[in-house]
Structure 1
Amino acid sequence: MIHITDKKNCCGCAACVQRCPKQCIRLEEDTEGFLYPQVDEETCIKCGLCEKVCPILNHADKLPVQEVLAVKNPDEEERMNSSSGGVFLPLAREVINQGGVVFGAVYDESWEVHHVYAEKIEDVYPMMGSKYLQSKIGNSFKDAERFLKQGREVLFVGSPCQIAGLRTYLRNKQYQNLLAVDFLCHGVPSPGVWRRYLAETYGGYDANEQSRLQATAGKNSVLLSSLNATSPIGDIKFRDKTESGWKKFRFVVRYTLR
C-alpha cells in the first residue's frame, strides 16, 4: 500500500491512483498545491499493485545513449509559437495522420494544467508550449494503455516523472506503437502559488474573504484563491518570443477582448 512519509518519495504521477483496482487512492493537494496520494485503508485490499507501478519504488535501469540529434521545426511560424524548437507539432501531426492519439498538457478554464488526449490536429494546438506547472494527469495512463492495446499509435508528452510513471504503469512493456517524449526538467513550480498569483493579479481575490478562509483553513488558504468568471485573461505563454525573439524569453499574459 502506498504510504508517503517523505514528499521526496513521490512525484505525483498518479500511476498508483489509476492502477488501483478498488479505486481507493485519491490525490490530495498539500499546502503548496502539489498532489500526493491518500489511501482509503478500509477499502484497500492490499494487492500491492500501487507499489508495483510506482516509479520511485521501481527505478528503471539506465540505458546507454543511442543517438543524439539536434532538430528544429522548419516552419518559422510554428517554431515561434513553440517554447523551443517546435518539434512537438510535426511529431503530433505524423501520429494523427496515422490514425493515432496524442497526449499532452493544456490549460483549463481556470488556467490550471491538465493532461488530455487528441485525435484531431486542431485539438493538438492547445498542447503546444511549455506550461511551468504540475499537470494533473487524470486517467491519461489508463487511456493511453487502452489505445495501445487497440494497436493505435500513441504519442505521450510529459515531464520525466510522468513518462517514468507511464512506463511503470504499463509494467515496462515495450509497446512498438508508443512514442514517449519528455524534456529537461528542473522541477515544477507550486500550483497553489500560481493559482493565488492569477487570482490576486487578474481577478477573483478578496482580501477579507481570504482572511476568513485563513482562520478556518489555516495553511491551506493559499489554495483557496481562484479566478472569477470575469477574469480578463485570454492567453498565457511561457517563453514567449513574439517581440524579443530567442534572446530574451518572456512570460506573457494576454488580455481577452470584451
Structure 2
Amino acid sequence: MADRKSEAEVPVLISDPIELAEKEAANALDQFDWGMDEVERWIKAKRPSLNISMVLTLHRKAMDGIDPYAGNFRPAGVAIKGSSHEPISGEDVARHVEEMLEYLKANWSSHTATHLSSYVMWRLNWIHPFSDGNGRTSRILSYMVLCGKLEKVLPGTNTIPEQIAENKSPYYNALEAADEAWKRGKTDLGEMEGLLEGYLANQLLEVHNQATGGKIYTEGEDEDPKNGIVSKIESHPVIAGGLFLLLATILGLLAS
C-alpha cells in the first residue's frame, strides 16, 4: 500500500531534503521525550491529563520548524493521498478531538490498554486534525495512552512507534479496516488491536533478549510483526515461558 499522506496547501519551510530529514529526526526525539515525561506526570498524579492542549503540544513538538501550522488544527479541509477516507471539515475538527478524548476518559477504567491505544491511533487519523504530522502525532499519543493505562513507561528501545515507522503497510491496512467498519456504522478495532499486541510483544521480547543474549525476532523475517512473533512463541515453549515471566514481572511492578 502506498503511503497515506496529507495533501493540503501548506507553505514549505524546509526545502532541502537532508535538512528536512534531520529536523524531522530531531523533532521526533523531542516529541517522544516530552510524551514520556507527560506519562510520568500522569502516573504521579494517578490520572491521565487528556485535553486538547496536550494533543496540540504533541503536534507542535513533531512539526516545529517544518509546518507553519505546528501546534494548531488545520484551518480547512484536507485530502489523504493513498486512502479513500475523506476527513471531516476543518470547522468540525476541535469537536471531534474533544469527543475522542471524552471516549478515552469515559472508558479508561473499563477497557484494556490495547483497545484504548488502538482507538486513539485510529480515531486521530480518522479526524486528521492537522495539515501534516497526523500519523506522527497519533502514534505517540497511542503509545502514551498504552503506557498511561499500564501506569508505567514500558521498557525496550524498539518501541511500538518505531516499529510502525519501519514498515507502515500493516498499520495502514489496520487504519483502512477500521475506516471501512466505521462506514458501516461499527467501531471495529480488531485488526489494529492485534497489530499493537504483536508490536508490544516485540518490544518486551527485546528486553528479554538483552537480558538473556537470545535472539527471537529478526526484522524482515515476516512482514506482519504479529504473525512473526506469534509463530515463534508457539514453536518455542521456553520463549513463551520467558515472555510470561517477563509480563508477570512487569505486572508485579505495576501493582507494587
TM-score of the two chains, using structure 2 as the length reference: 0.26
Structure (1 or 2) with the greater strand fraction: 1
Structure (1 or 2) with the greater helix fraction: 2
TM-score of the two chains, using structure 1 as the length reference: 0.26
